[in-house]
Amino acid sequence: MTLPFVKMHALGDDFIIIDRRGHSDPVTAQLARRLGDRHTGIGFNQLAVVLDCDDAAARIKFWNPNGTPLQTCGSATRGVADRLMHEAGSDSIVLRTDRGLLTCARVAGQRVSVDMGEPSLAWSAVPLATAMDTRTLPIEGDPAACGMGNPHCTFFVDDVAAVDVAAVGPALETHPLFPAKTNVHFVQVLDRSHIRLRIWERGGGVPQGSGSCCCGAVVNGIRRGLLDETVQVQCDGGTVTVQWDGQGGVVLTGSVEPIMQGTAYLF
């Protein structure tokens, strides 16, 4: 069996898109792990499978490289939106994910935005293992938590360069407070509209960037009173913009670029 794919990135956050509209979905956890291996497969931070949908232009299913599914991926959603908007000759599109219907649009500078939906702020929706105020968790460093379809835990630090993300990330990802594990962020607030962000990604390690993590970090910073409604988020791979008014959906905007296209051979 052959499986055509396109690989893209959003400021170094790389993902592959497999368009299965009009066909069955062959992707399993085992296949996602095989394709995600950077030595023997294609390699990616996330895999997006594009499927037929009755109430949107397409439905997207997401996989981590370790074969675990996830509800949302801001970078890959924008990548799919970019391709389908080109296909339709349109500057806006609606896609369905496990987060619901997400509206995407092309904005100035050939960037793509997506309304990622409202963040989950209640402890049970993040989810956390027990009831508490999600603005301050009982973990050393007093992080905050929220959900963006996946869990997010944000530490605010004086110098993000001083944090060994790869060393401390795995234990925090699997902390007992997070029954579904968690993404972990380390945020240095440069000013009220600009942060530096480094990430330990649930099921993925240390990425150059992550759309949903940028959203989660900004949401938690706004809830702490540290940030304004529009924030430039500087990741290792570049900068995106996140907007949240404290009530509605979180809007993520940034560039997406194709890297390659090819065919995976499945024996």
Q: Which of 85, 113, 79 is CA-nearest to residue 260?
A: 79
Range of the domain at 244: 144-249
**Residue 212 domain flag:** yes
Tell me, yes or no, whether 91 and 156 share the same domain: no
Tell me, yes or no, whether 99 and 11 share the same domain: yes
| Rounded distance between C-alpha atoms, residue 20 and residue 198, angstroms | 33
Is 148 within 8 Å of 116 (Cβ atoms)?
yes
Tell me, yes or no, whether 108 and 193 share the same domain: no
Length of the chain: 267
Q: Write the CATH number for 68.
A: 3.10.310.10
Tell me, yes or no, whether 95 and 27 share the same domain: yes
Residues with Cβ within 8 Å of residue 181, at least 6 apart in sequence: 151, 173, 174, 202, 203
* pTM for this model (two decimals): 0.93
Tell me, yes or no, whether 54 and 152 share the same domain: no
Q: What is the pLDDT along the chain (267 residues), one digit of tens a residue?
A: 889 999 999 988 999 999 999 999 999 999 999 999 999 999 999 999 999 999 999 999 999 999 999 888 999 999 999 999 999 999 999 999 998 999 999 998 779 999 999 999 999 999 999 999 999 999 999 999 999 999 999 999 999 999 999 999 999 999 999 999 999 999 999 999 999 999 999 987 899 999 999 999 999 999 999 999 999 999 999 999 999 999 999 999 999 999 999 999 887
What does the block give as tokens for 228?
């304004």
pLDDT of 203: 80
When computed from its CA atoms, the radius of gyration of the chain, rounded to whole angstroms, is 18
Tell me, yes or no, whether 104 and 9 share the same domain: yes
Cis peptide before 65 (omega within 30 of 0): no
Tell me, yes or no, whether 24 and 90 share the same domain: yes
Tell me, yes or no, whether 97 and 23 share the same domain: yes
In the three-class reduction of DSSP (H, G, I as helix; E, B as strand; rest coil), residue 84 is classed as helix
